[in-house]
Amino acid sequence: MTYKTLFVTIAVTGILLTATSCSFFEGGKNREKGTPVESSKATVKKIVDDIEANEGKRFSITGYLSYSAGFTVYTNRPQTVTVNTAPNGGGETITPVEMKWAENGHNSIFLPEDAGRESDKTIFYDNEGTPLTTNDKVEVSFEVGKSSIYPVEIRIDKVK
């Protein structure tokens, strides 16, 4: 195999992989809604603990998002956001979830640089890219997988 043939093969493979990746083009937008389950810590724990039976299935819970920034925020890594039973980080924590860091994104989180570490300044973006706060009740759809101990592939929808 010549170098030219090898290069073309690699290039075509890369283009095909990129073209089939929805997350590359949509940035996490348009994930499916999950099947509603009880919004409790015990229910989510059962789902997460039984990865074999639940991998690839989508579930949803309702609650309020909360985020506590550390001293250093690594924006190129998923952020740990909690889903709580009450606004502003109050009530019981139902589960932590992983969300990507993106300003004006979809199903993402952003904390403006001048906000400090205050969670009331955190901006969450839903599936449509609409900004939400810690006071907005949301439906959180998710999957479980072997790559994380938390629910992943998050979709956020504001509860009307």
C-alpha triplet 107, 109, 110: angle, nearest 5°: 140
Measure Cα distances from 88 to 11, 36, 120 in Å: 48, 23, 7
CA distance 141 to 106: 13
pLDDT, tens digit, for every residue of 14-53?
A: 554 444 344 434 456 668 999 999 999 999 999 999 999 9
pLDDT, tens digit, for every residue of 103-145?
A: 999 999 998 877 666 667 899 999 999 999 999 999 999 999 8
pLDDT at 10: 63
Q: Is 107 left (phi over 0), alpha (psi -120 to 50) or beta?
A: left
Indicate whether 1 pLDDT > 80: no
The pTM (predicted TM-score) of the whole model is 0.78
Block residue for tokens 């570490």: 117
CA distance 33 to 159: 13
pLDDT at 18: 43
pLDDT at 16: 46
pLDDT, tens digit, for every residue of 52-62?
A: 999 989 999 99
pLDDT at 78: 87
